[in-house]
């Protein structure tokens, strides 16, 4: 079992309940579970057409959705960071001494062998154990 479990959450995927339940199973009594959403800021070519309020509103909307998805889950801290998904997940895990990452994933297709999904990159480069929950 693990003392610090990280659950990266893409807010538009439907596996949050599954990954949080798995994290609870894997977490030691008294351990800490962190639900992490990585907010990917708009690309610079898009940012030129957005005002600061729109970017701030996007952050706030994502924060609200994260809070909603983690509501009712005891012992789960909701965190948000800015960056590129897999890099931000790995950096957070390393900086916070995470023991296990519980990541959701779809069934891999041919494109995953060439491009790699966030889950695949996390699995390959994680500084700790990784538990994968497949979407149905």
* Confidence at residue 109, expressed as pLDDT on a 0 to 100 scale: 65
Structure tokens at 126: 């994680």
Backbone angles phi, psi at 96, to 5 degrees: -105, 10
* Confidence at residue 76, expressed as pLDDT on a 0 to 100 scale: 95
pLDDT in tens, 38-79: 998 777 777 677 777 887 888 899 999 999 999 988 889 999
Q: Which residues on neighbouring strands pair with residue 131, listed in sequence order?
A: 102
pLDDT in tens, 6-31: 999 988 777 788 899 999 999 999 99
Query: Cβ distance 50 to 42 under 8 Å?
Result: yes
Structure tokens at 53: 């309020």
pTM over the 0.85 mark? yes
């Amino acid at each position: 079992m693990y003392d610090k479990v990280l659950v990266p959450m893409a807010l538009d995927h439907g596996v949050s309940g599954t990954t949080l339940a798995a994290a609870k199973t894997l977490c030691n009594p008294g351990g800490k579970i962190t639900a992490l959403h990585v907010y990917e800021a708009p690309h610079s070519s898009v940012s030129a057409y957005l005002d600061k309020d729109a970017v701030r509103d996007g952050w706030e909307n994502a924060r609200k959705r994260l809070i909603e998805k983690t509501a009712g889950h005891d012992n789960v801290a909701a965190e948000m960071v800015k960056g590129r998904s897999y890099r931000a997940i790995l950096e957070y895990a390393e900086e916070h001494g995470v023991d296990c990452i519980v990541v959701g994933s779809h069934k891999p297709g041919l494109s995953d062998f060439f491009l790699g999904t966030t889950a695949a990159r996390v699995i390959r480069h994680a500084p700790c154990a990784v538990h994968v929950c497949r979407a149905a």
